């Protein structure tokens, strides 16, 4: 990848924001980067303003179909209209720093160099041969939300496992969910689930959203363990019933109107339920309390997968790995009826203490 530093880039010659539009400099062998006054014993170096901007990332993370102009991947465009862009927070601020820094950026909508403790968490020397301290030393791990590819490429590599662990941690800090419960009739109840994009500077999910997806998994049971309602469960082949599941993704079709996951075959996008930065999506599920239970438990998860199992099997064949489900958020609540009124059952301090010890 060009931004790894292995391939020099001519920063003044980028033709457009997308479709791998970097122009490669194969003559001078100059390494460009965001640091001023940098010196290397191995090659010439030069400061590049492009490397400090999101435009650098746009070259690969905006993909437009070359024939029909359909936006196949639009991570840069999602960021460009977000509060992050309005506050001059760029891709590198989150994806070239630790998860902890990215969380702080999302909470404050401020760039990392403004943090009071920046030198402790971010500063240092840019290389083992460095002679001066830099306010920010960027990581080149470039971790996003993909926790499967690195482990497939090198399942025994500690470095790749670390990459997967960081991806999971990023996913588990990208969203929040809230749960609402109320009685609608003698037997009918409403479960409300609100999902918030609190930590990503782009949509959730992003990239090839015809393939990646996030969904709500919910199970409602009574005090006897009877299932009153459930949604978002994987079947025996690790696939979802999309017609009965709230899924955050996009749906694309080919020129004949048939759904497709192949980027080259996409003619247009027919539906998009991805959640924009600092945006939210609210959903309601209605179920019946058939046995007139006096206590009802609600278990809600927000799950993520890099691809469906069906897609992976079609792409990689019979030996395709099982795509793991990553739980981004998980909420469990219990509600009890007392004197005809339903209220949330609050756990005792000793119960909470026991749960903390067990986890």
List pLDDT tens digits, range 225-280.
999 999 999 999 888 999 999 999 999 999 999 999 999 999 999 999 999 999 99
Give start-end residues of each CATH 2.60.40.2360 domain in the chain: 173-358
Residue 89 structure tokens: 């927070």
Parallel, antiparallel, or unpaired for β 213-222 and 295-305? Answer: antiparallel
**Strand locations in 254-340 (E):** 268-272, 280-288, 295-305, 326-338
Q: Which of 210, 215, 306 is nearest to 260 (CA)?
A: 210
Distances (CA, A) of 9 to 13, 30, 36: 8, 8, 16
Q: How far apart are CA 40 and CA 44, in angstroms?
A: 7
- What is the CATH class of 173-358? mainly beta
pLDDT at 15: 52
Task: Report which of 178, 168, 172 is spatially closest to residue 218, judged by C-alpha positions.
Answer: 178
> Which residue in 166, 193, 169 sits closest to 180, CA to CA?
193
pLDDT in tens, 36-73: 888 888 888 889 888 899 988 988 899 999 899 999 99
SS3 state of residue 148: coil
Hey, what are 298's tokens?
A: 């609600």
Q: Render pLDDT for 172-225 as a digit per residue (tens, 0 to 9).
A: 999 999 999 999 888 899 999 999 999 999 999 999 999 999 999 999 999 999
pTM above 0.85, yes or no: yes
Diameter of the chain measured on Cα atoms = 81
- DSSP, collapsed to helix, strand or coil, labels residue 330 as strand
Query: What is the helix (H) or strand (E) element at residue 195, kind and residue range?
Result: strand 188-197
| C-alpha span between 300 and 192 (Å, rounded) | 10
């Amino acid at each position: 990848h060009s931004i790894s530093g292995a391939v020099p880039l001519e920063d003044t010659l980028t033709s457009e924001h997308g479709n791998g539009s970097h122009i490669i400099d194969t003559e001078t062998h100059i390494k460009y980067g965001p640091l001023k006054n940098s010196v290397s014993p191995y090659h010439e170096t030069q400061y590049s303003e492009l490397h400090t901007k999101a435009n650098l990332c746009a070259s690969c993370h905006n993909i437009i179909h070359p024939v029909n102009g359909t936006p196949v991947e639009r991570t840069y465009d999602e960021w460009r209209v977000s509060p992050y862009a309005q506050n001059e927070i760029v891709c590198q601020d989150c994806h070239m720093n630790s998860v902890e820094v990215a969380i702080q950026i999302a909470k404050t909508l401020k760039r990392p160099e403004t943090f009071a403790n920046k030198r402790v968490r971010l500063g240092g020397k840019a290389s083992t041969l460095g002679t001066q301290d830099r306010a920010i030393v960027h990581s080149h791990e470039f971790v996003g939300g993909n926790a499967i590819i690195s482990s497939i490429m090198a399942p025994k590599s500690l470095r790749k496992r670390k990459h997967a662990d960081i991806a999971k941690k990023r996913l588990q800090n990208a969203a929040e969910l809230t749960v609402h419960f109320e009685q609608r009739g003698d037997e009918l109840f409403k479960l409300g689930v609100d999902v918030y994009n609190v930590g990503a500077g782009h949509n959730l999910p992003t990239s090839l959203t015809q393939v990646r997806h996030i969904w709500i998994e919910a199970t409602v049971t009574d005090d006897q363990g009877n299932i009153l309602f459930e949604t978002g469960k994987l079947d025996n082949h690790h696939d979802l019933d999309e017609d009965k599941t709230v899924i955050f993704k996009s749906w694309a079709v080919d020129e004949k109107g048939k759904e497709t996951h192949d980027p080259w075959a996409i003619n247009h996008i027919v539906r998009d339920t991805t959640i924009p930065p600092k945006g939210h999506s609210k959903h309601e599920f209605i179920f019946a309390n058939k046995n007139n239970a006096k206590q009802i438990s609600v278990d809600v998860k927000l799950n993520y997968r890099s691809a469906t199992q069906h897609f992976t099997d079609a792409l990689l064949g019979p030996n395709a790995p099982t795509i793991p489900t990553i739980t981004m958020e998980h909420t469990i609540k219990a509600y009890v009826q007392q004197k005809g009124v339903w209220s949330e059952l609050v756990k005792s301090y000793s119960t909470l203490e026991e749960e903390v010890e067990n986890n």
